[in-house]
Copies of this chain bind each other. A is one copy, B any other.
Amino acid sequence: MDTGLIGLGNMGAGIARSLLRAGHKVVVYNRTREKAEALAANGAKVAANIAEACATGVVLTMLADDSAVEAAVFGEGGILKWLPKGGLHVSLSTIGVRLSERLTNEHGQAGQHYVAAPVFGRPEAAENARLAVVAAGRAEAIERCRPLFESMGPKLMIAGTWPSQANVVKLTGNFMIASAVESLAEGIAFARKAGLDAAAVLDFLTSTLFTAPLYKTYGTLIVEDRYEPAGFALPLGLKDVRLVLQAAEANKVAMPVASVLRDRMITALARGHEKSDWSVIGRVAAEDAGLPGRG
């Protein structure tokens, strides 16, 4: 089918190629035009502005954070203005519940449709159509873009008819990943301080109880004290925890482990780890235990 796609970072570019490979016609737009032009070789049509990316009547956005989405939608020359009546905006970004609700309202008032469809997976998964997609919105709107979701990955969850419900699932998942990283951080610091070979402990635990790949991935970063280059940078991780806490507070849910995660990540920032992977909370745990880095 025909679709626009705005936002061509690592995730967005990978999704564009997966969609093109599956036979969709994709009009791509990026603030820095080079990133869009790089996709022409894959068959994408390059849009000069947001208006052109909206012309197909369906537009996906894959942007870094709430303010990037706000700028693309509500800004001068943004989606809200250019998407035709009856058009559909599908937000793939990890954004807050509050913004998702605002998008629902404002698109609705403009006679447009809105689906929230955040994704789980790293850039390789985007590239190889291995993402897991959580979509929410009106049933007919979701059906309309289902072919796009199916070209992004094998796993699709329909979370509900209210778009922000998909954002809640995404935030819950990211919270649980961050919790697993913190438990690795504390557990590894404890084992190291008690004189154990942390790599051997990690190998044992991940081959018996903690077989989900994320434990191996993040555990290895922590054991090797290797947080650069960042797969997912600390400030983005803190942003997600903040969105979790905001949405939970709006629902009157206390999440004490999320509070711990927030404190740890802030401390990591205060120690200058702005460019590190969010798993650098493993180094914070090690330092707090008086352990040296791995050099």
Contacts and interface: CB of A to CB of B under 8 A. Distances in A.
A42 to B, nearest CB: 27
Contact of A165 (B194, B214, B249): B194
Given A183-B180, A201-B169, A271-B290, A247 B194 contact: yes
Nearest to A250: B194
A191 to B, nearest CB: 5
A252 B193 contact: yes
A140 interface: no
A159 B200 contact: yes
Interface residues of A, number: 74
Interface in A198-250: 200-201, 204-205, 207-215, 242, 244, 247-249
A15 interface: no
Copies in the assembly, this chain? 4
A82 interface: no
Contacts of A164: 194
A24 interface: no
A189 B254 CA distance: 9
Identify which of A197, A247, A263 gathers the most chain B CB atoms within 10 Å of its CB. A263
A204 B169 contact: yes
A244 to B, nearest CB: 8
Interface stretch (A51-59, A88-96, A170-178): A170-178
A138 interface: no
Binding site secondary structure of chain A: helix
A155 B207 contact: yes
Nearest to A261: B257
B183 A201 contact: no
Interface string A90-110: 000000010000000000000
A168 interface: yes
A141 interface: no
Nearest to A132: B208
Interface of A: 97, 120, 132, 134, 155, 157, 159-160, 162, 164-165, 168-169, 171-173, 175-177, 179-180, 182-184, 186-187, 189-191, 193-197, 200-201, 204-205, 207-215, 242, 244, 247-249, 251-260, 262-264, 266-267, 269-272, 288-290
6 contacts: A172-B187, A190-B253, A193-B251, A209-B214, A212-B212, A270-B289
